[in-house]
Amino acid sequence: MAKRVGVDKWLFFTTLSLVTLGLASVFSASAVMAEARFGSPYTFLGRQALWALLGVIAMVVLMRVDYRHYNSKRFIYTAMGITFLLLVGVFAVHGSHATHRWIRFGPFFTFQPSEIAKPVLAMYLAWFLHTRLNAMRDWKHTLLPAAGPAFVFLALIVKEPDLGTALVIFGMLVMVLLLAGMEWRYVLGIFAAVTPVVVALLIFVPWRLARMKVFLHPEADPQGAGFHINQSLIAVGTGGWTGRGYMEGVQKLFYLPEPHTDFIFANISEELGFIGAMFLILLFVVLGIRGLRTVFLLRDPFARLLAFGITITILIQAFFNMSVVVALLPTKGITLPFVSDGGTSLCIMLACIGILLNLTREIE
């Protein structure tokens, strides 16, 4: 029997610290822009604070819900079905900036279905694989049914287009399959099959090809395709050790695109410097350590796989976002978990932490 009666306090307070830092960073990065566009510097902060409140409520509620409720065919099929309909539904609504990522309810409320696909797929994989851990060599009856629904979701997300989110989900899929016992030869097979598709998506889509060229030679087009990454590197570089000071960043003043969303880490690095950036990274390290500690101390296979899926999704997404900001990866639109402006991402991530916190109660 599990001896723990409370949740992991380290994980709980680390998450709240990330949310608090995120709200402060969103306000700093968006205040001037919000004043210019909407007449109030608090527009983005107010919206993000509302989502944070909803997310914290979801986290508190879900950390008290027994995770075994998710380990049922009825729940999994319902969740998968609803997610599929939402991913299809985005193509039925008017797109924004040539993309179909959001379902909009009025001028201020939007919902991004690809965000809910992350925890739903983690639940599906945990449910499907936890009784098949001794059959991981059976590609026909285990690996294919496990990966098949994920690739359907991935195809829809790539179509939106949202390659960054698709890569996060793909990374989670491979890692969960490995934890479940999939052999490396199958990993090589998956990558052999997926690599040509990814290469085609990069080469035959003009704006992605431009980003790849800029990634290899960021100085080639500093005012065009390379504008994002060059401005990001300027922000990071000018921050120094201690930064310019909170609210004192310059690049956010209509130089750095999306300073409150995809490139918020660049604004944090400019204002809080290397020390502030490392503190933020340390929070993600602590979150990862506590999450993985939970994974390896749990006895229930379903709980282990679910905890791992949630933890690794957060870590992969954080790594991708920060790597883009410092030009370790090509530019792609992906939020920094708990920190970037983005209500759906924040609320869903906090709900995931609630599930993970409930799982920490089961540690012996």
220, part of any domain: yes
Query: What is the mean pLDDT of the segment spanning 202-216?
Result: 81
What's this model's pTM, rounded to 2 decimal places?
Answer: 0.93
15, part of any domain: yes
Residues 312-351: tens digit of each pLDDT:
999 999 999 999 999 888 888 789 999 999 888 999 999 9
Pairwise CA distance, residues 32 & 27, whole Å: 9
Look at residue 93 in the predicted model and tell me its pLDDT: 76
Look over the chain and give the mean of its residue pLDDT values, rounded to a whole number. 90
128, part of any domain: yes
Confidence band, pLDDT 50/70/90 cuts, at residue 307: very high
Look at residue 318 in the predicted model and tell me its pLDDT: 97
Domains identified in the chain, total number: 1
3, part of any domain: no
The least confident of 117-126, 206-215, 285-294, 316-325 is 206-215
Confidence band, pLDDT 50/70/90 cuts, at residue 207: confident
Q: Which amino acid is at 329?
A: L
> What is the residue range of 94's domain?
9-360
Residues 126-143: tens digit of each pLDDT:
999 999 999 999 988 999
Residues facing 105 on adjacent strands: 109
Look at residue 68 in the predicted model and tell me its pLDDT: 95
pLDDT at 97 over 70: no
2, part of any domain: no
Residues 55-86: tens digit of each pLDDT:
999 999 999 999 999 999 999 999 999 999 99
Confidence band, pLDDT 50/70/90 cuts, at residue 214: confident
Q: Kindly state the tokens that stand for 184.
A: 């490396």
333, part of any domain: yes
pLDDT at 278 over 60: yes
1, part of any domain: no
